[in-house]
Amino acid sequence: MRRYLLRKLGIYALTFVAAVTIDWMIPHLMPGNPVRALMARIQIQDPQVAQHVYANYMRSFNLDLPLWKQYLYFWASLLHGDLGTSIMQFPSPVSSIILHALPYTLGLLVPAILLSWYVGNKLGAMAARRKVLDNTLLPIGYVMTATPYMWFAIVLVYVFAVTLSWAPVGLAYSPTAVRGFDTTFIGDVAHHWVLPFLSLFLVSCGGWAIGMRNLIIYELESDYAHYLEALGAPQRLVRKYAFRNAMLPQVTGLALAIGAIIAGALVTEIVFSYPGLGYQIYRAITNEDYFVIQGIFLFIIVGVLLANFVVDIVYVVVDPRTRIGMEGGGQA
């Protein structure tokens, strides 16, 4: 077990270095110069002053240095926990931007992913053995999954917020809400949370259900299931084993979904004006804000690696084949 973990940790460390390097490289390969864009916004009328201000900003962001030096500075800052300063939101530190936005994304995405995963898998498993469900829930699941999310979310806003006024049109809380850790404010936050949560939950749920339904059917048609049936094992036992085996790819899928949480948040946060990390990364990319892009992608990298590491551990627990293979039992 120790060797297995050390090997995995080594692989993750290497992956981290490579991913962070790419994370640094990609924004720098984008066309354009963010400081020039900043200058265009400031609109200084005198060319000499403009040159001074430009030089000052270039120096502030180390963008006047050769790329290799910028790369080394990046690692040095990173190891000191400094993610840099935002260019477009100058002089806000990137870490502060992430910390402000993170709770919104986590609060919305984590329950949506976990609950849709749980409910979707349950529904899919049930649909695999009940014709009525298979003919009713699954088609709905197909429709939900195939629906362009952006369109679906906008329809939800239009129907429930603009037309019926059952839900707010956007934001994480009412514009006039006085923030406080009390029931009124929590209720207000919940009111704003429901619609974006539902939009994510419904769409994801359909996907998980379809996946699980197909996996269960596949497992039920496999040799071991037929063998068990031939031995006279009860249907319930066969389905239990089929469910356990079908869960394995779904666990991997869950890990990837949690790791890629930011990508999932992007459209939701834009449509519902939810001020999380997805919206921040969208703004950062459109404004070429190198350091915010790097900071948020770093967060994604760490998220994906951690989620995968957890799945590796979980696999050891839930999949006997992995456990046996790790102990050398699988070797010929």
Partner 1 sequence: MVTRRKSRALVWVVVAAVVSLMVVTVGSGGAGASYKAKQYPRAATLITSGTQWGNIAGMNPFTHNWAPGMVGLVNETLLRYDPLKGTYIPWLAKSAKWTGAKQYTVLIRPNVFWSDGKLFKGGDVAFNVNLQRFSTGQWNNLWQNIQQPIVVKGNGLIIFNFKTTPNYVQWRNMIWNMPMISPVQGKSITTAQQLTTYNPHIPIGTGPYKLDVHGFDVTTRVVWQKRAHWWAADQGVAPSPAPQYIIDLVNTSNTNSLSAVLAGVEDLNNNYLPGVNKLVDAKKVHTYFDKAPYMLSANTAWLEPNTTRVPLNDPVFRKALAMSINLDKIVRDDYQNLVLKANSTGLLPSWNGYVSKAAVKQFGFTYNPAAAKALLLKNGYKLDSSGMIANKDGSKIDLDISVPQGWSDWEAARDMIVASAKDAGIRMHAQVKDFNTWLADIQTGKYDTVIHNPYQIADDPWTYWNGIFHLPVITTGTGQTFANYERYTNQTAWNLTQKLDKTPPSNTKAIKALNVQLQTILMKDLPLIPLWYNGIWAQMTSKYWTNWPSSSGLQTIPCMWGGYLQMTGIDTITHVKSTRAATSAK
Q: Which of residues 221-260 bind partner 1 (CB under 8 A)?
A: none
| 33 lies in the site for partner 1, by CB under 8 A | yes
Instruction: Give the C-alpha separation, 68 to 66, whole Å.
Output: 6
Candidate residues 133, 229, 241, 275; the one interacting with partner 1 per rule CB under 8 A: 275
Least separation in angstroms between residue 201's CB and partner 1 is: 11
Q: Which residues pair with 93 in a beta bridge?
A: 85
Identify which of residues 64 and 229 has a Cβ nearer to partner 1 in the complex: 64
Q: Scanning residues 54 to 83, which ones bind partner 1 (CB under 8 A)? A: 54-57, 60
SS3 32: coil
Candidate residues 189, 217, 313, 314; the one interacting with partner 1 per rule CB under 8 A: 189
**Residues 6+ away with beta carbon under 8 Å from 88:** 34, 37, 38, 283, 284, 287, 289, 292
Piece of the chain touching partner 1 by CB under 8 A; list 167-175, 224-232, 253-261, 324-332: 167-175
Least separation in angstroms between residue 206's CB and partner 1 is: 18
Contact by Cβ (8 Å): 189, 173? yes
| 200 lies in the site for partner 1, by CB under 8 A | no
Least separation in angstroms between residue 95's CB and partner 1 is: 13
| 104 lies in the site for partner 1, by CB under 8 A | yes
Instruction: Give the C-alpha separation, 264 to 94, whole Å.
Output: 21
Q: Kindly write out the interface string for residues 80-99 of this chain, putting x where it contacts partner 1 by CB under 8 A and - elsewhere.
A: ------x-xxxxx----x--
Q: Scanning residues 282 to 321, which ones bind partner 1 (CB under 8 A)? A: 283, 286-288
Identify which of residues 196 and 207 has a Cβ nearer to partner 1 in the complex: 196
Q: By rule CB under 8 A, what count of residues binds partner 1?
A: 86
| 31 lies in the site for partner 1, by CB under 8 A | yes
Q: CB burial class (10 A; 0-12, 13-18, 19+) of residue 292?
A: buried
DSSP 274: -
Identify which of residues 279 and 297 has a Cβ nearer to partner 1 in the complex: 279
Q: Scanning residues 8 to 27, which ones bind partner 1 (CB under 8 A)? A: none
Contact by Cβ (8 Å): 26, 281? no
| 103 lies in the site for partner 1, by CB under 8 A | yes
Least separation in angstroms between residue 6's CB and partner 1 is: 33
CA angle 214, 216, 220 (to 5 degrees): 120
Identify which of residues 204 and 287 has a Cβ nearer to partner 1 in the complex: 287
Torsion of CA 319, 321, 323, 329, to 10 degrees: 170
> What is the token pair recorded at 37?
């864009």
Contact by Cβ (8 Å): 169, 186? no
| 154 lies in the site for partner 1, by CB under 8 A | yes
**Helices 261-271 and 235-259 sit at what angle, rounded to 10 degrees?**
70
| 208 lies in the site for partner 1, by CB under 8 A | no
Identify which of residues 56 and 135 has a Cβ nearer to partner 1 in the complex: 56
Candidate residues 177, 198, 251, 260; the one interacting with partner 1 per rule CB under 8 A: 177
Least separation in angstroms between residue 169's CB and partner 1 is: 4
Q: CB burial class (10 A; 0-12, 13-18, 19+) of residue 13?
A: exposed
| 152 lies in the site for partner 1, by CB under 8 A | no
Please report the DSSP string for 65-117 in residue order.
Answer: S-HHHHHHHHHHHHHTT---B-STTTT-BHHHHHHHHHHHHHHHHHHHHHHHH
